[in-house]
Amino acid sequence: MLKKILDFDERFSRYLYSHRFSAKTDKWLRLYTRLGDGYVWALIIILILVFHGPMILAEVLAMVFPSLVASLALYWTLKLSTKRPRPFVAIPEFKALVPPLDKYSFPSGHTMNNLAIATTVLLTVPAAGAVMIALPLTWGFLRVYFGVHWLTDVIGGFILGVASFAIGHLVWVFALSPLVSGYFQG
């Protein structure tokens, strides 16, 4: 079963690698992908502050923190235990079209960490809608397109991002929220 999954990953990556967009489009996609490095969250913080005020922003940040801690703990544990090589390492003719953030491939941190944050923001600011979920998924898929992740890295990152959100949300609801509940009611 694992061999079939790995073979599918390689076939899918080879297909994407052989069906590139134009250099100009790739340039714009690289710029968009860089937003997944964390830059977009600064803009979202400003938007929440402007449209929802400092109390909602403080609540969002307090709720995001345990999800992000859970995500980073799972991320590094899996990265260092699986040590899965990236596509551009495993397939000699591949070239990474964006710089990887670290040495190993599984799971996709862009998908996992950003989805853990995005799901928390979505819960607190429902008007953010599908954009909050679409951003991490498109960033993850583009990491496959650019040769630094396998498709299963992104799928795993999605599942683990949702799990990180769930863990963080439970920590928020049962441990942190009771400690700070008076603060967010003003």
- Let me know if residue 123 belongs to a domain: yes
pLDDT in tens, 68-82: 999 999 999 999 999
pLDDT exceeds 80 at position 179: no
- Let me know if residue 106 belongs to a domain: yes
Judging by beta carbons within 10 Å of its beta carbon (0-12, 13-18, 19+), is residue 14 exposed, middle or buried? middle
Q: Note whether 167 and 73 are within 8 A (CB).
A: no
Q: Which residue has the higher pLDDT, 31 or 176?
A: 31
What pLDDT sits at residue 185?
56
Range of the domain at 134: 40-184
- Let me know if residue 4 belongs to a domain: no
- Let me know if residue 134 belongs to a domain: yes
- CA 109/CA 55 separation, integer angstroms: 29
- How many domains are contained in the chain? 1
Q: Which residue has the higher pLDDT, 164 or 49?
A: 164
Tokens linked to 162: 């949702």
- Let me know if residue 169 belongs to a domain: yes
- Let me know if residue 115 belongs to a domain: yes
What pLDDT sits at residue 74?
95
pLDDT in tens, 97-141: 888 888 999 999 889 988 888 888 888 778 777 788 888 899 999
| φ, ψ (nearest 5 deg) of residue 68 | -70, -40
**What is the average pLDDT across 176-184?**
68
**What is the average pLDDT across 168-178?**
85
Is the omega angle on the peptide bond into residue 107 within 30 degrees of 0, that is, cis? yes
**What is the average pLDDT across 166-178?**
87
- Let me know if residue 14 belongs to a domain: no
- Let me know if residue 99 belongs to a domain: yes
pTM above 0.75, yes or no: yes
